[in-house]
A and B are shown apart, each in its own frame.
Chain A
Amino acid sequence: GENVEQHPSTLSVQEGDSAVIKCTYSDSASNYFPWYKQELGKRPQLIIDIRSNVGEKKDQRIAVTLNKTAKHFSLHITETQPEDSAVYFCAGRGPNRGSTLGRLYFGRGTQLTVWP
């Protein structure tokens, strides 16, 4: 099955700086890559996603880039704020086959801390 690796496991930045989290995946047939933000004690919330036919997507301070050749994708947060502090998970959706089609494979998560 798909294997998603995520780095770094922890990231500390000063307010206003940028933060970058990187993920790699193993299955070239994967076609959908969401990013989730999980605050302490809360459910994961989708913050941005990208499909395999797109190289980059932006939503205000958040952007995701995808390099299909290298099989990696990255989350970029600019002008970070203390409320961006949370755990961020990348995920890849495996190819549509079998009885588990559509399942997500999650990275290990990145604890982002933004210092005021």
Chain B
Amino acid sequence: SAVISQKPSRDICQRGTSLTIQCQVDSQVTMMFWYRQQPGQSLTLIATANQGSEATYESGFVIDKFPISRPNLTFSTLTVSNMSPEDSSIYLCSAHQNPGVVTEAFFGQGTRLTVV
């Protein structure tokens, strides 16, 4: 299985600022996904990052707030813009090889974001 390196692992940010989270995969993957996980809660999908096209956002999440880049098949970034304390959460990236073939999805180690 592939390995995802996600950084930063944690950050404390001032409200109104932006943070960019990076995920690097050690092999080429078709689909990458960005999740948010509140403490004690399940994973909520923010968006699907497609290489070569715009990301697809889930209901309640918009590109202006969470812009995503996917410049190649091994890398993606999520930016949390104009942060408020409500954005404090764990952000996780995920990937799997080929949606046409049933394969395991694996996760980065997560970014714990605290907005003060």
Contact = CB atoms under 8 A, between A and B. Distances in A.
Interface stretch (B11-19, B39-47, B61-69, B79-87): B39-47
B53 A99 contact: yes
A106 B35 CA distance: 11
Nearest to A104: B105
Contacts of B92: 43-44
Interface residues of A, number: 24
Interface residues of B, number: 24
A69 interface: no
A108 B42 contact: yes
A46 B99 contact: no
A89 B43 contact: yes
A102 B31 contact: yes
A34 B104 contact: yes
Nearest to B57: A100
Q: Per DSSP, are chain A's interface residues mostly helix, strand or loop, or mixed?
A: loop
A67 interface: no
B31 to A, nearest CB: 5
23 contacts: A31-B102, A34-B104, A42-B110, A43-B92, A43-B107, A43-B108, A43-B109, A44-B107, A46-B105, A51-B102, A96-B99, A99-B56, A100-B56, A102-B31, A102-B99, A103-B31, A103-B33, A104-B33, A104-B94, A107-B42, A108-B41, A109-B41, A109-B42
Given A34-B105, A43-B92, 12 more contacts: A43-B109, A89-B42, A96-B99, A96-B100, A99-B53, A100-B48, A102-B99, A103-B31, A103-B45, A103-B48, A106-B43, A109-B42
